[in-house]
A and B are shown apart, each in its own frame.
Chain A
Amino acid sequence: MIRFDNVSKRYGSGQDALSRVSFDVARGEMLFLTGHSGAGKSTLMKLIMLMERPTRGQVLIDDRNLNRLSRRHIPYFRRKVGVVFQNHQLLFDRSVFENVALPLHIAGYQPGEVGRRVRAALDKVGLLDKERHNPIMLSGGEQQRVGIARAVVNKPPLLLADEPTGNLDPELSADIMNLFEQFNDVGVTVMIASHDLSLLKRMNKRVLALSGGQVAHDGALA
């Protein structure tokens, strides 16, 4: 599903964010991406989202070489990748429902289908009763779950999450992780960036650790 082939990324400042990173993620796998800040986690995520282009090497998503994807095709590619952001990136000028519906409107779904899918996604994250609320009225954990609903409403085969439990207490993080596992159970490939070591140990999944822009560890934590 994800394949990094000798990928390097050097920013204009001359700093190497990633150097010769190679790894494979199978379809339906769930893994964690970890490392100190500045180790290259965000850069790696941005390369998958096509927010950045690699300086060298190739990134393949679903057997598709992203280097060969023109700017015009980026939006259609992004519709197949669900992303959960650390700061949720919700829009506070509209309801929870409208926030979750946004990807469906963009993809051109019929209004009836939009309603059905949005409610299914909100039901999944346990926020069906809050669909008319403005997200600003929700707690941090609830906002994060709205962000997750928006990421999965389009049923993408790949789900990325950047520090999804960053600001949440352990109990709420466990809830969120539980959600991700449920998506993984139905075949979604899930990749979660996190530096919460206790969480990584508890989840006992494959961990890809970055250090100084290079892969320092790949596999389950001992």
Chain B
Amino acid sequence: MSPRRPAPQAPPKPRPKGASQSRTRLTDRLDSWQAHHSTTAVESLQRLFRTPMQSLLTWLVVAVAVALPAALYLVLNNIQDLGYSWQDSGQMSVFLVEDVRPEAIDALLTSLDKDGRIDQVTHVPPGDALEEFKAYSGLGRVLQGLEENPLPDVLLVRPATHDPDALGELRDAIAAKPVVAEARLDMAWVRRLQEMMALGQRVVLALATLLALGVLLAVGNTIRLAIENRRDEILVVKLVGGTDAFVRRPFLYTGLWYGLGGGILALALLGLGLWWLSGPVARLADLYQSDFRLQGLDLTESLQLVLLSGVLGLLGAWLAVARHLIQIEPS
């Protein structure tokens, strides 16, 4: 669209009455449009509660379809956490060059401490490392014969990330420092876990897509029945000048309520399942001297789940309305 030239200045004889009147009428319209939205929203919710069993069934269908992929997603997340905490997978061993000066080690430690990609750095001096080696390797006597300590200074670095690419970058960055002889990282385990998770996520996504389709159809079918039940009303509304949007509105709100209600119910189901499993999981973890605990959805994820479910309900209603409402015409 091309910008319009400003209208010529109005003559100094304004018509405030006409102008303000039409403005008032527009705001009036907007107000009543808003009012109709809110009354329709409330009325459609009340209508659902008037047939509680039927509504509950639809809510449960939506809830199960939403909770199932969400539960699998949680299982996947927990397995991932568990995997990382078990294997200490991210631990990086940084071997320093021989005869490095203590100030240089301190400088390196400070710089690594400041790095946001790193969780924790521990310095193992050669003497400590040798003692440990003697104690655990069973080669104590052989080592005793050594004239000098062959071990270098080692830094144990625990990265803050589990992403293989980021880990690789971090390792390269550390290895490039002048006092570092070598930085070693067991990437195979990290990569394997990452690939398994990617596979799992795809399975969850495929399942979620199928179940989302199920929600669309379930809500769509329920709305179709609601449209049939209110056929007379739709006819009268169309005869006295109701627009398509006006006729559509209550059904779209009904779909939205089915979706949101189902989402909230799904959260409840997930919470119940988590509570039921958390006791045994905690006891099992204790037996393995692990402080692993089941993690549920956080607040943002919970809100996203309910919102997503609401959008699905709305879409399902839209599908039904688009297909069936147009067929009801007064004749």
Contact = CB atoms under 8 A, between A and B. Distances in A.
Q: Do A and B come from one complex?
A: yes
A79 B235 CA distance: 14
Given A76-B241, A93-B233, A52 B331 contact: yes
Nearest to B33: A108
A103 B242 CA distance: 8
A90 B253 CA distance: 24
Interface residues of A, number: 25
B284 interface: no
A52 B330 CA distance: 9
Interface string A89-111: 11101000000001101111111
B236 A78 contact: no
B195 interface: no
Given A46-B331, A89-B235, A93-B233, A150 B33 contact: no
A117 to B, nearest CB: 13
A108 B331 contact: no
B28 interface: yes
A180 to B, nearest CB: 18
Main secondary structure of the interface of B (DSSP, over half): helix
Contact of A75 (B36, B236, B243): B243
Nearest to A90: B236
B233 to A, nearest CB: 6
A158 interface: no
B237 interface: yes
B250 to A, nearest CB: 12
A215 interface: no
Contacts of A49: 239, 330
Contacts of A150: 240
A154 B35 CA distance: 19
A118 interface: no
Given A46-B331, A93-B233, A110-B31, A83 B239 contact: yes
B28 A110 contact: yes
B232 interface: yes
A106 B241 contact: yes
A51 interface: yes
Contacts of B36: 105, 108
B206 to A, nearest CB: 40
Contacts of B330: 49, 51
Interface of A: 46, 49, 51-52, 75-79, 83, 89-91, 93, 102-103, 105-111, 150, 154
A-B pairs, 5 with minimum CB distance: A79-B241, A78-B241, A108-B32, A103-B240, A75-B243
Interface of B: 28-29, 31-33, 35-36, 232-233, 235-244, 246, 329-331
Given A89-B236, A108-B32, A108-B36, 10 more contacts: A51-B329, A75-B246, A76-B241, A91-B232, A91-B236, A93-B233, A106-B237, A106-B243, A111-B32, A111-B35
16 contacts: A51-B239, A75-B244, A76-B241, A78-B238, A78-B239, A78-B240, A79-B240, A90-B236, A102-B237, A107-B241, A108-B33, A108-B36, A110-B28, A110-B31, A111-B32, A154-B240
